[in-house]
Structure 1
Amino acid sequence: MNKCRSEVVELPPYRALLVVDVKNFSGEKGRDHARITRHIPVILEQALIRCGLGELRERVRFEGSTGDGYFWGFDPAFLPFLLNPFLAALQDELEYQNKVNLGSDRQYLRMRVSINVGPMTDSGGNDISDGSGDARIETHRLLDSKPVRDMLTRSTSTTCVAAIISRRVYEDAIVSGYAADAPELYVPVDVEVKTYCGTAYLRVPKPSGDLLASGFTPPEPAGTGPSAEADDVEGSGSGVQQQESRSSIVGITHVQGGVGTAITGHQPQVHVGRGDQFNAPLGDGVNIIGTNRGRIRHHVNKSGDQGDGR
């Protein structure tokens, strides 16, 4: 075994991590990519100033560009402020930027935001490896997940920010009350991206379009779900016959010894008694389930009325 892997090492410090990504960055003209990349951290800083948190810009532990996005690492004490009021301020700032900078050949700037907290490396000097750790990977998995992408796909350009936060952030900052944001504003979703699988929470400061009409988690498309499965059972071409719903009574006669519990249902399987057993259907809808010490009379009344159980 690798000696380094078997040794106990110190846990990295906990850091709050915010990562943003511009929607459809590749849809911008190549000549505009550099300008947008440079502009992203400026927008984030302006959002901090807009909500009265400009001093937080100087408290960033590590930061960097992802090409079509940007990330900031903070001491975890500042985590609540990244949720409230920063997310709403970022929505307002992007709306403003879209009004004053949008040209005829430019798209509206819209961002996905992922927020997490956990152990990450931090040299104190904004080293290239700072922010490394499982929590960092989880943050990017959440950012790339379908639920948060759908928030911008199913909304109009009015919605400039769609955020997704980890379960730990939700519990530590939202449920605890530190962020002073109502838990009802955050919608739980299941996330599966590559090898990551977990629960996260969506937050959209200004929903629009189908988000208002259908909610953050829309109903399943036609042709899927339990109702569709029932239709398949009823369909003539499915190869599966629907079971007829009929009432049934299980009655017991001439059984020596203890008697078990009578069971009702569509196809009850009842075997009560001792010794060899046999099942024999009769033409009147009565099944006789017998034992060598007595018999059980299973009466299926096709008219829908319950039999007498005799």
Structure 2
Amino acid sequence: MTRPQRPGPGVSPLPPYRSMLVVDMKDYSGAPGRHHAHLNAVIPEILQSAFARCALATLWTEISFSDSTGDGYAIGLPAERLPFLLNPFLGSLQDELTDRSRTLADAGLSPIRMRVSVSVGPVTDSGANAVSDGAGAARVELHRLLDSDPVRDLLARSAEVTRVAAIVSARAFEDAVLTGYTEESPDLYVAAPVQVKRYQGEAYLRVPAPSGDLLTSGFRTDPDAPGADRKAPGDSSPTADPAAGRSVDRSRNRRGGIGAISGTVHSIITDPTGPINTGSGQIYNNGPQDFRENR
């Protein structure tokens, strides 16, 4: 009889998978110190009310671990609850913060705006909300995403009417959005590279109520954003222009304000950095002793 093999030394089972959410209040440190205790207490109250207003009050009772970060709050829920943290919760949180802005104004406080991070993965969970609960690489990712520039930029470039800017881990996006469990279009999310300290990965941006520069310039302003010209800086390789029947330079770093020229070309005087592709005629490149002829 073959004796059963024992697991190798050091092998251990994965901790349970949990869906996680953490929020952070924008400009918390800018509020007078005497209001901080009130804000610390009101943040989880806002989250609970946001769950209730979208008919998810029972999810608050399912929280397996929670943690105040002072200017924010983190919670862990069963993994199968992940879709609800994206839809309808993010929209409900936007509405909750909009309604509460009036009360805060009466108390002399600025409207609360929040960054939100959502992730899923294996983390420790004793079921007793112990100090060590919620530990693991997925929890580190949750907080790194919250601190990343792409989601911070969303609130910086939007008006006060945008109360919520969210960033979602790639795993959470794939598991809950791409599979259709959130019942929303993946096109509502914008991919963004994230690098914070030693963490590096891709995440997805979501803004329930965009405003300001987000409406005119989009969620991302970097040149590598989806849909942008992906040529490397200085890449002047020609691309075919079907209208002109010849190759033209479409480099984004071109100077001189000339995009494409079709038809018979006689003389062009331009910047010394060039380059220019033309059908016939002469080209004067405005550098010392620099004359080029292309026929």
The bucket for the TM-score relative to the shorter chain is 0.7 to 0.9
Query: Equivalents in 1 of 2:188, 2:88: separation in Å?
Result: 13
Match of 2:153 in 1: 150
Q: Which moved more, 1:102-111 or 1:158-167?
A: 102-111
Residues 167 and 90 of structure 1: is their aligned pair in 2 closer, same or farther, counting only changes over 3 Å?
Answer: same
Counterpart code for 1:202: L
2:173 paired with 1:170: yes
Q: Percent identity?
A: 49
Query: Equivalents in 2 of 1:182, 1:243: separation in Å?
Result: 43
2:214 paired with 1:211: yes
Secondary structure of the structure 2 residue equivalent to 1:63: strand
Counterpart code for 1:108: P
Match of 2:32 in 1: 29
With structure 1 as the length reference, what TM-score do the two structures score?
Answer: 0.73
CA contact (8 A) 1:187 1:202 kept: yes
2:207 paired with 1:195: no
Render the CA deviation track for 1:96-129: whole Å, top value 9, x for unaligned.
1101222474211000000000000000100001
Match of 1:81 in 2: 84
Residues 64 and 183 of structure 1: is their aligned pair in 2 closer, same or farther, counting only changes over 3 Å?
Answer: same
2:60 to 57, 60, 65: 57
Counterpart code for 1:61: S
Query: Equivalents in 2 of 1:19, 1:211: separation in Å?
Result: 23
- What displacement does 1:243 show? 4.7
Count residues in correspondence.
240
Query: Equivalents in 1 of 2:253, 2:104: separation in Å?
Result: 50
Render the CA deviation track for 1:61-120: whole Å, top value 9, x for unaligned.
100100100011000010001110000000000001101222474211000000000000
CA contact (8 A) 1:43 1:93 kept: yes
Residues 7 and 41 of structure 1: is their aligned pair in 2 closer, same or farther, counting only changes over 3 Å?
Answer: same
1:134 to 121, 134, 137: 137
Residues 197 and 219 of structure 1: is their aligned pair in 2 closer, same or farther, counting only changes over 3 Å?
Answer: closer
Render the CA deviation track for 1:117-142: whole Å, top value 9, x for unaligned.
00000001000010000000001000
Query: Equivalents in 2 of 1:25, 1:172: separation in Å?
Result: 32
CA contact (8 A) 1:246 1:302 kept: no
- What displacement does 1:245 show? 3.9
Q: Could you list the runs of 5+ residues in structure 1 that have no partner in the other structure?
A: 248-300, 305-310
Query: Equivalents in 2 of 1:97, 1:78: separation in Å?
Result: 26
Match of 1:230 in 2: 254
Match of 1:110 in 2: 113
Residues 6 and 68 of structure 1: is their aligned pair in 2 closer, same or farther, counting only changes over 3 Å?
Answer: farther
Query: Equivalents in 2 of 1:173, 1:55: separation in Å?
Result: 20
4+ residue runs over 3 A deviation: 224-232, 241-247
Secondary structure of the structure 1 residue equivalent to 2:15: coil
Of structures 1 and 2, the larger Rg is shown by 1
Counterpart code for 2:215: L
CA contact (8 A) 2:104 2:110 kept: no
Query: Equivalents in 2 of 1:35, 1:225: separation in Å?
Result: 50
Secondary structure of the structure 1 residue equivalent to 2:95: helix
CA contact (8 A) 2:104 2:111 kept: no
Match of 2:226 in 1: none
Secondary structure of the structure 2 residue equivalent to 1:93: helix
With structure 2 as the length reference, what TM-score do the two structures score?
Answer: 0.76
Query: Equivalents in 1 of 2:198, 2:155: separation in Å?
Result: 24
Query: Equivalents in 2 of 1:183, 1:147: separation in Å?
Result: 18
